[in-house]
Amino acid sequence: MQTRNKVFEDISQLMTNAMGVAQGAKDEAETAMKSLVDRWLADRDFVTREEFDAVRAMAQKAREENEALKARLDALEAKS
């Protein structure tokens, strides 16, 4: 019986070690893929969400100012 338990313990330890190695390989592959994607995106000159939102807000403000100036110009032209 003692030999059988030792075999099961050895197999259990082997499986535990294999799972650890597999988890390490998975983590390493994820890190490598993330680095690859980050480099690819950086080379494409994409903007961040914050930059996009800032430019969109500036464009909205410019549009509103343009509409206000157009209304003033129309009012001045109507007086003439």
pLDDT at 2: 61
- Its sign, for the CA torsion 31, 37, 42, 47, is negative
pLDDT at 27: 92
Q: Tokens 């197999």 appear where? A: 11
Give 10-residue mean pLDDT values along the chain (80 residues): 76 89 92 93 86 97 98 92
Task: Report the predicted TM-score, pTM, of the whole model to 2 decimal places.
Answer: 0.46
At CB < 8 A and 24+ separation, what contacts does 16-25 make?
none
pLDDT at 7: 85
